[in-house]
């Protein structure tokens, strides 16, 4: 069990105090005792001299050294006067007279020769000792001196005075009691004081400890409040200051982190961070989409295990080994995505730290556009070269002599004119397409009556249809919602579709123009969101394989036939661009039993406008 500081301080203070009190008591009693012994010794010294003087007659008389009742009486008398026990001891240790012993018992008193004070007196003529009296059981201070007899030679007898310390001992015992009570009271006061003191010292400390625990749990709003201005107050202020700095640092870091995260998240490029062993530390959402992996699947695993792309593995190994920047382009299967990778080594080469950063640029669209551009250039050159070659050929034939034959020259010049018109047509279509693509053509967005657009276009195209004996049918009703669009452009779309229908339908076919409102799938009761306009013919039809491609530039199902019919291969590409520019969609379906159906879906005006 660990004691709290409060208890350590309290118990420590009390132990020190208790020891101090006990030592003080012992020292006080000892010094008092010593003082008393010295004083008593001096008194005893004086009394012994007096007693020796009182015994002088006995010493000078012959036979004085035997135990007589007179001697015993004299000793008792001296004892009463000196208030001390008086004993006379023969040099052989026999007790000759003793004031504390009755006459009858004197013979039985034990030999005193071995007593320390007698031993000293025998040796030096003067001996003292403090011991408990065998007879009375009291602590007694003894002084023994040798008294000379008549011949003044060796001591004839030893006089010993014993001063009982009873009164003093009682006083000392009383002092002990008084001191015990006083110290007991002092101790109690000390207990209360030290508990209070310990509390006042440790309270701010335990407040700091609680606050530090809260801090450790992440509560950085905590403030330590202490009124003290001592070291504890200083500690609290320092901790508060530290917390403020920590909070500011954490705020700064989390701001940086969220900015970094926002950057990584919003980046179109994929980003991957690897440690020095090639393990994935971080990937951004763009990379997750590119490789169709989640961050959880990728993080902590080796790059080669996650992506399984040998070319990528090689690039990573090279960068990690050489610590030089590298780049490469990889192809993903089965998505067919082309990714350009820029891999750079970072400064750090420590465990679990970013060691390499890889940026993935999706080049799929760029590469596709490059191919389209190349194809387009090749197609344009080819399309332009065909009429030009023909024109050149006929001009050379004319120069070689055909010009001299009026019939042939007229025929050749006619062909040259036709081919020039064709060149013109191609250039016109190309120009128009390029203008739409580059955004130079501004589409109007006004409410249009589909029925009137259809009627006007049909009227315009009718002579062409009549030439081939086609039947033109319109089933467009007047109650359709207005679409948002550009009238001239919509007429161009419709005339291109009708022109194709006439061209690619053998004579005496039927060409139908229809229109219907389209309701929102989710809410059938709402007003239509779009109008579908369709041109159906009973002609050659388009195979399923060719259908998605007929809207590409210069794509023709039957090149020779198209050219023969005067097609440029750009009509449907123009249709697609215009429809998409108007916010709609166009596609082709098969018509049963024969022919094709081109469908244009255009969004309606938001307000409820019924024509
Ligand atoms: P073109 O000038 O050759 O008609 P388009 O872009 O208008 O060029 O059409 C592309 C190709 O789509 C045509 O060459 C033709 O093969 C095919 N096509 C277009 N409309 C029809 C149709 N109504 N029926 C059959 N094939 C068609």
Task: Give the pLDDT confidence of 227-268 residue by residue, as tens digits.
Answer: 777 787 888 888 888 888 988 999 999 999 999 999 999 999
Q: Would the CB of 550 count as within 6 Å of ligand 1?
A: yes
Q: Give residue-wise pLDDT tens across range 70-93.
A: 888 888 999 998 888 899 898 888
DSSP character string of 87-128: EEE-TTS-EEEETTS-TTTGGGSPP-TTSHHHHHHHHHSEEE
CA 455 to centroid of ligand 1, rounded, Å: 23
Q: Give residue-wise pLDDT tens across range 319-376.
A: 999 999 999 999 998 888 899 999 999 887 777 788 999 999 999 999 988 988 888 8
CA 486 to centroid of ligand 1, rounded, Å: 24
- Helices 487-503, 571-581: axis angle to 10 degrees equals 150
What gap in Å lies between CA 533 and CA 529, rounded to an integer? Answer: 14
Please report the pLDDT score of residue 5 as a whole number: 75
Ligand 1, residue 598: give the atom nearest the CA. 23
Mean pLDDT of 488-515: 94
What gap in Å lies between CA 610 and CA 481, rounded to an integer? Answer: 5
* Half-sphere exposure of residue 220: CA atoms within 13 angstroms, side-chain side: 11
Q: Give residue-wise pLDDT tens across range 127-170.
A: 999 888 776 778 889 999 988 765 555 567 899 998 888 888 88
Relative to beta strand 471-475, strand 510-518 is parallel
CA 202 to centroid of ligand 1, rounded, Å: 95
CA 445 to centroid of ligand 1, rounded, Å: 28
Largest Cα span, the chain: 208
Contact predicate 588/535, CB 8 Å: no
The vertex-38 CA angle with 36 and 43, nearest 5°, equals: 90
Q: Give residue-wise pLDDT tens across range 542-573.
A: 999 999 899 988 888 887 777 777 788 899 99
DSSP single-letter state for residue 608: -
Mean pLDDT of 3-12: 79
* Long-range CB contacts (within 8 A, 24+) of 138-142: 138/164, 138/165, 138/166, 138/169, 139/164, 139/165, 139/166, 139/169, 140/85, 140/164, 140/165, 141/37, 141/40, 141/41, 141/44, 141/165, 142/115, 142/117
Please report the pLDDT score of residue 65 as a whole number: 63
Please report the pLDDT score of residue 609 as a whole number: 42
Please report the pLDDT score of residue 61 as a whole number: 67
Please report the pLDDT score of residue 538 as a whole number: 95
Q: Would the CB of 172 count as within 6 Å of ligand 1?
A: no
**pLDDT at residue 180 above 90?**
no
- What is the token pair recorded at 293? 């992996």
CA 483 to centroid of ligand 1, rounded, Å: 26
**pLDDT at residue 1 above 50?**
yes
**Mean of the per-residue pLDDT values for the chain?**
87
What gap in Å lies between CA 544 and CA 546, rounded to an integer? Answer: 6
Q: Would the CB of 547 count as within 6 Å of ligand 1?
A: no
Q: Give residue-wise pLDDT tens across range 572-603.
A: 999 999 999 989 999 999 998 999 999 999 99
Which of 543, 567, 578, 600 best tests ligand 1's pocket when mutated (most atoms within 8 Å of CB)? 567
Task: Tell me which of 29-33, 328-332, 474-478, 517-521 is least confident.
Answer: 517-521
In the chain, % of residues over pLDDT 90: 41
Mean pLDDT of 438-465: 90
Residue 273's DSSP bridge partners are 282, 357
Task: Of 586, 484, 480, give the one whose Cα is nearest residue 528.
Answer: 480
- What is the token pair recorded at 515? 């229109």
Please report the pLDDT score of residue 63 as a whole number: 54
Task: Of 544, 562, 426, give the one whose Cα is nearest residue 504.
Answer: 562
Ligand 1, residue 568: give the atom nearest the CA. 2
What gap in Å lies between CA 106 and CA 76, rounded to an integer? Answer: 13
Q: Would the CB of 162 count as within 6 Å of ligand 1?
A: no
What gap in Å lies between CA 432 and CA 35, rounded to an integer? Answer: 134
Q: Which position has the token pair 């036709």?
A: 418
Q: Would the CB of 493 count as within 6 Å of ligand 1?
A: no
pLDDT confidence tier of residue 610, bands split at 50, 70 and 90: very low
Relative to beta strand 585-590, strand 596-603 is antiparallel
Q: Give residue-wise pLDDT tens across range 110-125.
A: 888 888 999 998 888 8
Tell the residue nearest (CA) to atom 7 of ligand 1: 571
**pLDDT at residue 611 above 70?**
no
Task: Of 213, 188, 209, give the one whose Cα is nearest residue 5.
Answer: 209
Prior bond of 593 cis (ω within 30°): yes
Q: Would the CB of 558 count as within 6 Å of ligand 1?
A: yes
* CA 470 vs CA 100, 331, 496, 499, 534: distances in Å: 171, 51, 16, 12, 17
Relative to beta strand 596-603, strand 483-485 is unpaired
In the chain, % of residues over pLDDT 70: 95
Q: Give residue-wise pLDDT tens across range 371-408.
A: 888 888 888 888 889 889 999 999 999 999 888 999 99
Query: In what helix (H) or strand (E) does residue 78 lie, and over which residues does it extend?
Result: helix 69-82
Intra-chain end-to-end CA distance of the chain, in Å: 93
């Amino acid at each position: 069990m660990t004691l709290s500081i409060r208890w350590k301080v309290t118990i420590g203070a009390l132990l020190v105090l208790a020891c101090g009190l006990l030592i003080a008591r012992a020292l006080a009693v000892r010094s008092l005792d010593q003082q008393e012994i010295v004083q008593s010794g001096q008194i005893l010294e004086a009394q012994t001299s007096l007693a020796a003087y009182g015994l002088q007659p006995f010493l000078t008389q012959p036979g004085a050294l035997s135990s007589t009742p007179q001697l015993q009486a004299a000793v008792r008398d001296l004892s009463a006067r000196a208030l001390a026990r008086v004993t006379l001891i023969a040099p052989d240790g026999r007790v000759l007279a003793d004031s504390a012993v009755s006459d009858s018992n004197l013979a039985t008193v034990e030999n005193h020769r071995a007593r320390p004070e007698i031993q000293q007196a025998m040796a030096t003529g003067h001996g003292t000792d403090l011991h408990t009296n065998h007879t009375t059981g009291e602590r007694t201070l003894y002084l023994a001196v040798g008294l000379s007899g008549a011949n003044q030679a060796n001591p004839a007898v030893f006089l010993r005075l014993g001063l009982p310390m009873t009164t003093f001992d009682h006083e000392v015992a009383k002092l002990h009691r008084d001191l015990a009570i006083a110290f007991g009271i002092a101790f109690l006061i000390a207990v209360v004081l030290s508990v209070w003191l310990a509390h006042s010292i440790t309270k701010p400390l335990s407040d700091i400890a609680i606050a530090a625990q809260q801090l450790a749990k992440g509560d950085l709003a905590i403030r330590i409040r202490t009124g003290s201005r001592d070291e504890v107050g200083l500690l609290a202020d320092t901790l508060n200051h530290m917390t403020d700095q920590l909070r500011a640092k954490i705020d700064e870091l989390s701001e940086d982190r969220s900015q970094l995260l926002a950057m990584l998240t919003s980046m179109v490029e994929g980003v991957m961070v690897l440690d020095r062993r090639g393990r994935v530390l971080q990937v951004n959402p763009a990379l997750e989409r590119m490789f169709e992996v989640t961050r959880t699947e990728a993080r902590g695993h080796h790059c080669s295990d996650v992506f399984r792309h040998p070319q990528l593995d090689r690039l990573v190994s090279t960068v990690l080994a050489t610590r030089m920047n590298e780049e490469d382009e990889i192809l993903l299967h089965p998505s067919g995505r082309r990714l350009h990778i820029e891999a750079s080594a970072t400064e750090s080469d420590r465990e679990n730290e970013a060691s390499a950063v890889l940026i993935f640029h999706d080049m799929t669209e760029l590469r596709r556009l490059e191919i389209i551009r190349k194809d387009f250039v090749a197609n344009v050159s080819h399309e332009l070269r065909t009429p030009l070659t023909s024109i050149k050929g006929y001009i050379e034939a004319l120069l070689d002599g055909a010009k001299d034959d009026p019939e042939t020259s007229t025929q050749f010049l006619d062909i040259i004119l036709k081919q020039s018109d064709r060149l013109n047509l191609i250039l016109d279509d190309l120009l128009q397409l390029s203008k739409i693509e580059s955004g130079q053509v501004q589409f109007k967005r006004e409410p249009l009556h589909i029925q009137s657009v259809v009627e006007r276009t049909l009227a315009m195209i009718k002579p062409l249809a009549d030439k081939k004996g086609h039947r033109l049918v319109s089933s467009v009703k007047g109650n359709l919602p207005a679409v948002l669009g550009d009238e001239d452009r919509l007429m161009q779309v419709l005339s291109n579709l009708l022109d194709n229908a006439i061209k690619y339908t053998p004579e005496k076919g039927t060409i139908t123009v229809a229109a219907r409102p389209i309701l929102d799938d989710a809410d059938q009761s709402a007003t239509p969101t779009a109008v579908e306009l369709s041109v159906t013919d009973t002609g050659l039809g388009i195979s399923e394989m060719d259908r998605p491609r007929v809207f590409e530039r210069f794509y023709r199902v039957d090149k020779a036939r198209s050219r023969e019919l005067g097609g440029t291969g750009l009509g449907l590409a123009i249709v697609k661009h215009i429809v998409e520019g108007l916010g709609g969609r166009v596609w082709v379906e098969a018509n049963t039993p024969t022919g094709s159906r081109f469908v244009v879906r255009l969004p309606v005006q938001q307000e409820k406008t019924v024509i």
